[in-house]
Structure 1
């Protein structure tokens, strides 16, 4: 197929018979080039790089030698259907172009190369691009001057970088995963066709609360979930403390939990003030939702909300039955409401008294709420109405699967009420979860409003780990009315702060600090540790993009 291009291509001089099982030892030196007579843009080849315009496909894995090279963003649909304009590159020196092809020979939408096409296979499984087959990386060499790249080729491929001709290449298998494991594809803020709503402007390059710091005594497993609010000049954090016990296996950390109260003046240096709630840590004696079981065995996801009408702080939190034998061990969640016994905005420290259960499994529950639902709750006001995100997890396909046979999925839906006290009712009787944000994973959403009135929900976007291939980033969704929510965008904060975590978990706040700067406190997991630390990052809002997003939502 590619005979016509052989006069323009020099065969890369390599040891074709040598197959190496180790990675390239040295980084390659990039060669300078420019795109000729085209509006194709270039990108830096790195994690999250946006490879194709008109798409949500991004690099999530790559061989390290490709890191930092310059690729060319090609229009996805045009290359798939063969209507693309020829790609012309001008090289200022003899150079090698790295072309990524997709391992799906049965699909003519993808270009196929082999060594007979004057292309040398440098990496088998060299790059992972979300939503697309495994990528093999080939090297094709060109002399100094202007060349049309693969002029007779049909089908989609990726231009991943250009290096100097002098580089010695050795074929190897890089072992990167198939990008179709990341399904569906997702939008990474700052790495898409859209302008980012938030710019990541920095933050702490290490955890702000970590094992051994003052206040962490007796907390074996660190932190997960909860909320941070700011009152005057003080941040108040109410995290789930995965307390566990010394000498007891780490899985018990997520059973015996506490809700702590921490304060800070800068969201960096924290002081533990008190324990708001303490779970029993008692395992269930039956496998079903039975009142014989301790239904407050584990306590999670404390959400403080100030009720202006009542002039006091309310707390909404989750209490679980805990099974020792069935996955998930957290089962049959119930949402409790408590309220501060001290009136006024400064009564946030409590003490708090329980006012009863506001949502629980019952006749209005749906199979998608699963064994874990009701698994979180966050209320917010829209006009004279109140809505609350509630969640479910480990869904049942039908009630025939109750109580043991659950699937995978972490979903949210809305409840409604005329007041923060309730009663709360599942909107549309909870028949379907909200899947416009992400169809498989949305956890612990917290809602606030942007300066133009847009509602924004920040949430845990799901792990890339434990057998899951999810964004592994915090995400946000927008709504003009607080009911209908947009597709998620995800924050790649490791592009601006040192990545100390393996698995990103839950954002606890989006606090405005003035000048369109916001503070996010978050939990994450370092797999080398039992203790799950807490971090902090700053983002800056782009008001022009905010207004453009509102106009887009108003058209729908």
Structure 2
């Protein structure tokens, strides 16, 4: 009997705990559901409204965008206030017309500064979300609800900048919680997101694959432990040719080795979706260095990355440019002292793209003409392109030295590019040194693996990795592009939020491999991405459409500079 009671009580307690857990989870879920929106109209002003989502452009005259958002606010409609007039207090009062009683959700910046609305000046306001939204380049945001009756109402909670994040129906309980979202000042500098700024976008994202196009377990991925990284895709006739870095690694060896023992693969496709692996172009040794400096005792081809095929019309053959590293086991980054090799296809003509290729020697390497910003990792990538009767080549560096006194161990953070020049694709290549290295007009400290082509009006466009939002960094986490009228001077980057039109299967966006024109102003982008829950890094694909009117206006803008 005693034993039966124990079993009965245990079952009763277990059932109670299960019911309690389900109810608690349901309560939390319900608490974090989106609040019901109320409709409104803006009275006597031309202020735009915005949908409160990730990347929403919150203030006109600015580059501030939402990068983190509490689910309660998702899908509400905010009002895009002019940044400067609200900061300096010269704004006219905002008037909104409501068809029913509402709660207006005001974002108040946690900054003791006269440029910002101070929370202690609010009246009849209820704090509903602490740290409830993150806006790039701005302080943490608390969200307050202020009730207003039906009719035309003046929204003037006090002097200084605040955000109108949405209008919610009054007949719902807005429960308080601390969303614990990060400080927007961590995203500094601010940046321009295509379609979420004051300017019209150059590219419209029109769709693509909602899942990776080359994924673990697909034919051809055997022996690739860690997936893919950068390289290039080109189109010859009706066939796409992809040359990605394959993070091969070894079975039974931890994932860190995937980025050490790499190889360059050659893949083909008729639609940029279904891919077939054709061959291995180069295989790295994966051998760790014997010394910490750039010593010829070390294997300087221990890791191979970033293969860039370029067709040389004069020579009537494909050239390849790729990066070979020394690999250190103890020093960050383990990729060190990059060297750029050039190779040539042994098969002439445009159809010789598959090779085989033979090495023609090193065209750029660390040396007496290197600069400290090239750092421990440089030369870290290379891409050549023709401008007039000569060639420019983007070359990069990373983990910079403040001075040569820091060599070889004491490196900082930063991923930079500069230009080299040559009279031919064969070289010799020389670094352009005009006092403006590295190029910081695109982004002050992160530009990685740029690939250059030309738009129909002659503008040069570089598409590149815009940097991760992760691993301790707060970068745009999007594919980026920059424009140039002369191939030498480059404009501030714009960033493509492709997850607004395709399902986001990645946590960290990595390198775009192409911007291929398909006709009717449509372009194909193949890109590498990372799902942090997995070792294997897949490849994706998206289509974008060029706005020719915006292209022309950008050209005129650059000509005026």
TM-score under structure 2 length normalisation: 0.94
Question: Is 1:113–1:119's contact at 8 Å kept on the other side of the alignment?
Answer: no
| Aligned mates of 2:489, 2:348 — CA distance in 1 | 34
| Aligned mates of 1:471, 1:274 — CA distance in 2 | 34
The reply to whether residue 101 of structure 1 matches residue 113 of structure 2 is: no
Alignment correspondent of 1:133: 139
1:431 offset after TM fit, Å? 6.1
| Aligned mates of 2:188, 2:234 — CA distance in 1 | 34
| Aligned mates of 1:501, 1:128 — CA distance in 2 | 21
1:32 offset after TM fit, Å? 0.8
The reply to whether residue 45 of structure 1 matches residue 52 of structure 2 is: yes
Matches within 5 A, 1:194-233: 194-233=199-238
Alignment correspondent of 1:31: 38
Q: What is the aligned counterpart of 2:426 among 421, 424, 431? A: 421
Alignment correspondent of 2:68: 61
Alignment correspondent of 2:93: 86
Matches within 5 A, 1:438-517: 438-517=443-522
Partner-residue secondary structure (3-state), 1:522? strand
Alignment correspondent of 2:24: none
Q: What is the aligned counterpart of 1:146 among 141, 152, 165? A: 152
1:529 offset after TM fit, Å? 0.8
Partner-residue secondary structure (3-state), 1:451? coil
Question: Is 1:410–1:443's contact at 8 Å kept on the other side of the alignment?
Answer: yes
Question: Is 1:200–1:540's contact at 8 Å kept on the other side of the alignment?
Answer: yes
Question: Is 2:34–2:75's contact at 8 Å kept on the other side of the alignment?
Answer: no
| Aligned mates of 1:37, 1:417 — CA distance in 2 | 59
Question: Is 1:114–1:120's contact at 8 Å kept on the other side of the alignment?
Answer: no
Alignment correspondent of 2:302: 297
Q: What is the aligned counterpart of 1:157 among 162, 169, 188? A: 162
Partner-residue secondary structure (3-state), 2:363? strand
| Aligned mates of 1:108, 1:424 — CA distance in 2 | 54
Aligned length: 535
Partner-residue secondary structure (3-state), 1:117? coil
Q: What is the aligned counterpart of 1:518 among 523, 539, 545? A: 523
Question: Is 1:23–1:172's contact at 8 Å kept on the other side of the alignment?
Answer: no
1:25 offset after TM fit, Å? 3.7
My pick for the range that moved more, 91-100 or 142-151, is 142-151
Question: Is 2:33–2:71's contact at 8 Å kept on the other side of the alignment?
Answer: no
Q: Deviations over 1:66-110 (max 9, x none)?
A: 0100000000001000111210000000000000010101x1100
My pick for the range that moved more, 114-123 or 171-180, is 114-123
Point out where structure 2 has 5 or more consecutive residues left out of the alignment: 1-26
Partner-residue secondary structure (3-state), 1:428? coil
| Aligned mates of 1:494, 1:431 — CA distance in 2 | 35
Partner-residue secondary structure (3-state), 2:408? coil
Q: Deviations over 1:369-398 (max 9, x none)?
A: 000000000000001010000000000011
My pick for the range that moved more, 420-429 or 542-551, is 420-429
Q: Deviations over 1:220-248 (max 9, x none)?
A: 00000000000000000000000000000
| Aligned mates of 1:114, 1:501 — CA distance in 2 | 41
Q: Deviations over 1:508-555 (max 9, x none)?
A: 000000000000000000011100000000000000000000000000
| Aligned mates of 1:393, 1:145 — CA distance in 2 | 58
Q: Deviations over 1:399-450 (max 9, x none)?
A: 1100000000000000000000000000016762000000010000000000
1:340 offset after TM fit, Å? 0.3
The reply to whether residue 401 of structure 1 matches residue 416 of structure 2 is: no
TM-score under structure 1 length normalisation: 0.95
Q: Deviations over 1:285-323 (max 9, x none)?
A: 000000000000000000000000000000000000000
The reply to whether residue 436 of structure 1 matches residue 448 of structure 2 is: no
1:64 offset after TM fit, Å? 0.6
Q: Deviations over 1:342-381 (max 9, x none)?
A: 0000000000000000000001100000000000000000
Instruction: Return closer, same or farther for 1:58/1:305 CA change in 2, 3 Å cut-off.
Output: same
Alignment correspondent of 2:7: none
Give the RMSD, CA atoms, in angstroms.
1.2
Question: Is 2:36–2:168's contact at 8 Å kept on the other side of the alignment?
Answer: yes
Matches within 5 A, 1:373-412: 373-412=378-417
1:27 offset after TM fit, Å? 2.3
Q: Deviations over 1:480-531 (max 9, x none)?
A: 0000000000000000000000000000000000000000000000011100
Question: Is 2:32–2:71's contact at 8 Å kept on the other side of the alignment?
Answer: no
1:22 offset after TM fit, Å? 8.3
Question: Is 1:60–1:128's contact at 8 Å kept on the other side of the alignment?
Answer: yes
Alignment correspondent of 1:322: 327
1:113 offset after TM fit, Å? 1.9
